[in-house]
Chain A
Amino acid sequence: MIRLFNVRKAYRQGKNEITALAGVSLHIREREFAVIVGPSGSGKSTLLHLMGGLDRPTEGEVMVDGRIISQMPDNPVTLFRRRNIGIVFQFFNLLPTLTAVENVMLPLILDGQPKVKASARAEALLDRVGLSGRNDHLPEELSGGENQRIAIARALVFSPQILLADEPTGNLDSGTGETVLELVRLINREEGCTVVMVTHNPRAAEYGDRVIHLRDGLIEEGRSP
């Protein structure tokens, strides 16, 4: 489903060049729940961003569902991401002025779908993540866990093949975190959605089928399954 071929990513910070990924090759299979772990600065999030087409590698190629997204122009890659990849962030990244249901339906609206249809889909998804009574609440009126569930519902609005989660429990207490992780696993199991999750929480890593260890921008070969 996702293939990375010798991917290198370097950033310029002032006069220095910082290497985030130093040549990573990786294959995530369809329906797999892969967890990327590693210390801060190891390149976990960078790897996830490259898989989601949010960023481009300095060298190497990123292939998702048979397409080399690292070489696609911005517009096609955006449309591909919109319809095929759901992304969940640590800080939820919901729009503070939109209600729960409006946040969830936002990608559909961006896609030009009719509001009634988008709204029905969003309500169904909120129901699915256990927030059926919270449709018209603003993010600031809800708890962290509830906000993260809205974010997951938003990520699933197009029934994507891939769900990328960047520290989804990083901003939640352990109990709420468990609930969110259960939900992600359920999505993986029931809907066959390929999940790649970045975390530095060992407890969260246990939810994955496979754990990929990153250190200094490289996969720690010895620890990879």
Chain B
Amino acid sequence: MIGLLRFVTFPHVRQHQLRTSLTLVGIALGVAVIVAISIVNRTLVSSFQRTIDLIAGKAVLQVLNAESGIKESLFAVIRDTDGVKDAAPAVQGFLPVVEIEGERLFVYGVDLLTDSIIRDHQFVSASFDFETALDFIARPDSVALTESFSRRLELPIGAKITLATSRGKRTYTVRALLKEEGTAKVFGGSFALMDLPVAQLAFGKERKLDIVDLTVEEGEEIERVRERIQARLDGAAEVKRPSSRGQQIESLLTSFRVGLFFVSLIALFVGFFLIYNTVSISVVQRKREIGTLRCLGLLRRDVLMLFVVEALLMALLGSLAGVLIGALLAEMAVLLVGKTVSNLFLEVDLAGTVMTLRELWVGLGSGLGVSLLAGLFPAMEATRVNPLENYRQAAWTPRSQRISRASLVGLVLLVISLLLWLFSPVGLGGLERFTLGVVGTLLFLLAICFLSPLFILWSVRVLRLCLMPFTWAGGRLALDNLARSPVRCGITVATLMISLAAIFTIAVFIHSVRGSLLSWVDRMVTADLIVSSSARTAGPINVPLKEDLAEEFRAIPGVRILDLYRMIRSTYRGRPIFVESFSVEASGAVRALPTVEGEWRRILKQMAVGEGVIVSESFQSRFGKGLGDTIDLPTPSGLVTFTVLGVYVDYSSDAGTVLIDRALYKKLWQDNLVDAFDLWLDPGTDEGRVIQEIRRNYGEKFQLFISTHRELRETVVAIMEQSFNVNYAVLVVAVVVATLGVINTLLASVLDRTREIGVLRAIGATQHQIQMMVEAEAGWMGLNGGILGLVAGTIISYHHVVYNTKVLTGWTFQYHYPFDVASLCILLAVVLCLLAGYGPARKAASSNIVAAVGYE
């Protein structure tokens, strides 16, 4: 085999360096995307787990209740449970540094005298002894910063730092510096330690705790202790092992990660066609060579092995490069993804993107596996080459049998894909049904690929009829060439089609999401002004404010209605959900939430008297709870059972959201914080004047952000579009790979027809005519790919937007068709192909006539 590679493969590769390089780049890009996404996915979960582990210290159990918090009075109950050795309470959260844009501190409030039992805080000053600690605690403005943060912001011991707290701006004094070890390593050193009561005040969590870390007595079984505490808490909080909390983010990010996986699948699919294309062309070009080798005694299996090994060698080189590029891409992608996750889900302290052996194998495995699959079929074709091939005139003539066989396979696949789409078993879970839908989509794409040669033949026929009255020689010759090799051109058109279908699907998805989201925002947030602190929208990076401000806002002339909005992370059956609340009494009349179950006005009445809650579509989809059912939620007051009064449309999170009246929320959650003040103004009131007044009186002190309704809409759209950044990047890769495929095909086509082009030149075709002929082929392939891509994209996007997304997230989106993107897609396909065809066309036009028509 090595001899064959040396004498047959390597000279061929040397002769076709450009084409080989294009294929290698294609494989490398495809593998890079897969590796990058794999690294990003793992980094997200491992970073979250790492943060938990660092903060947890020696704790083997943690008592927590998401953002709902735990009543401080429960601490004694927890600490005094049998088997608990040590218990350390804490509150935690982010506080922005005032007047330093983008700078935030992860503040950890602990009982400094007892916390060292669980966490080893390493202070820089050796003199941070018991007395210093007492002094630190005694002064209510003490804060300890990490060495790196203190150095970066030039805040030595004794310096003042102002933070935006839930009570407005507060100035603290740096009284100790922490070595960046253990807990202090989180969030790149942007970490601060406060005494528990000081932190509770800053976060507005008086008499509440976020977490209690525990160790257990020697000889005690951790699980038994966990059960004992859980029983004593009566649903007011959950007891977990730190090591199991990583699953939380996995659950929260499922659809996000599935989306990324779906996109990497596209890259893989396009890569498959590129390799198939390359090996097929290689076989066609070397038919004579294979014939000669067969004459010389080469066995069929040797021919098979030759092409398979060639494909694998190419894949190995491309995959190795892809793994390296993927590791670099991951560094960039993780920042993008991290930002999206922070915006949409929760703050993740992203660790460095170190590639593990697993990702190396995923990259190499997918590259080699796909190449093997893609190369096998054309390699088998090569084994059928007759030893007498050498004596035949070299021409790649269409084989109708092959086309009809391919079309038959296409039809069968089409039927299977439609069956998978239409008859997805209801008994399966959301993820499983989504996976089936994706499999159906891939089969559908494959079906179109198999049908594309037939489509090319039909389209050539149609265009021939259209061109009949014209005498454009280049166009006529181009059509002849396409009709002659519909399979080879079909592969290129298919590659293009897949990329365009993917682009179009994503475009329709974004278009539909945007449309649905905006109409939802318009109904959900009807307020004229939204006032919040530190972040424009509620969510993980928001710093909630105390509700005291409400009265002051209400007194501003022109404010008709004022309502208080709160959104916190909570759990249901141990899985993360969101709980949001507003006052039905205050703003029920001016809100009109879209509902899918229950009548809005009746729901409002029932909510106002505390009869129950409403849940989002995602909640219903995840947990199967709808109108009339009951749900148990862990609140600081214990496990409370609520009746579901209706199901509403909510796009804030696919984890599932429960909406509750603020009065009931405040009572049960013992939380009077506010994420946003919603203000409705009297008709004719000058919006600008109200904004100015709020800014003047409270803006500086409370670090307020004031958004108008329009600005909020824009923010929502910006956040949504940001979450698609990685998808866009991958699609660009898919398009690049598809374009490489077009260049590849055209180069091969030109090389394959060297003699013919020579003859055309000899009988009087000008260089321009030859160039136009190749460009026309390229353009026509682009048009075919564009049309097929658009058709496939339209069908797939409809299925994805209306059905698959619903299955995975529970969200119902209105299908919005972007006509502008549709026409752009076709234009893009044609322009890309024309650009891709330029090089091969020039090569064809400048071919040496004598060498081309010479005898072989």
Interface residues, chain A, with chain B CB atoms under 8 Å away: 45-46, 49, 52, 54-55, 74-75, 78-79, 81-83, 87, 89-91, 93-98, 106-107, 109-115, 140, 154-155
Contacts and interface: CB of A to CB of B under 8 A. Distances in A.
A107 B764 CA distance: 6
Given A75-B767, A78-B764, A110-B765, A54 B755 contact: no
B689 to A, nearest CB: 73
A223 B769 CA distance: 43
A138 to B, nearest CB: 9
A54 B762 CA distance: 7
B835 interface: no
Contacts of A49: 849-850
Contacts of B768: 75
Contacts of B849: 49, 54-55
B473 A87 contact: no
Nearest to A154: B763
A55 B849 CA distance: 7
Contacts of B760: 95, 106, 110
Given A49-B850, A90-B855, A109 B476 contact: yes
B58 interface: no
Nearest to B393: A96
Given A54-B850, A98-B480, A109 B473 contact: yes
Given A49-B850, A55-B850, A75-B768, A115 B468 contact: yes
24 contacts: A49-B850, A54-B850, A74-B767, A78-B765, A79-B764, A82-B764, A82-B765, A89-B853, A93-B759, A93-B762, A95-B759, A97-B484, A107-B763, A109-B471, A109-B473, A110-B473, A110-B765, A110-B766, A110-B769, A111-B764, A112-B471, A112-B473, A140-B393, A155-B763
Interface string B750-784: 00000110111111111111000000000000000
Given A78-B765, A79-B766, A95 B473 contact: no
A208 to B, nearest CB: 22
Which residue among A93, A154, A155 has the maximum number of chain B CB atoms within 10 Å of its CB?
A: A93
Contact of B395 (A83, A96, A115): A96
Interface residues of B, number: 29
A82 B763 CA distance: 6
Given A54-B853, A96-B393, A97-B484, 17 more contacts: A54-B761, A54-B762, A55-B849, A74-B766, A74-B767, A78-B765, A78-B766, A79-B764, A81-B762, A82-B764, A87-B763, A91-B393, A95-B480, A95-B759, A106-B760, A114-B471, A155-B763
Given A54-B849, A109-B473, A110-B473, A75 B393 contact: no
B397 interface: yes
A34 B480 CA distance: 37
Given A95-B480, A110-B760, A112-B473, A78 B755 contact: no
B561 to A, nearest CB: 76
Nearest to A54: B849
B522 to A, nearest CB: 60
A93 B763 CA distance: 10
A95 B757 CA distance: 10
Nearest to B848: A55
Contacts of A97: 395, 397, 480, 483-484
Contacts of A81: 762, 764
7 closest A-B pairs by CB: A82-B764, A93-B759, A96-B395, A54-B849, A110-B473, A78-B766, A109-B473
A8 to B, nearest CB: 16
A90 B854 CA distance: 9
A78 B760 CA distance: 10
A51 to B, nearest CB: 12
Contacts of A82: 763-765
Contacts of B397: 96-97
Contacts of B769: 110
A52 B761 CA distance: 11
A83 B765 CA distance: 11
Contacts of A107: 763-764
B749 to A, nearest CB: 13
Interface in B501-539: none
Which residue among B395, B758, B849 has the maximum number of chain A CB atoms within 10 Å of its CB?
A: B849
Nearest to A83: B764
A62 to B, nearest CB: 14
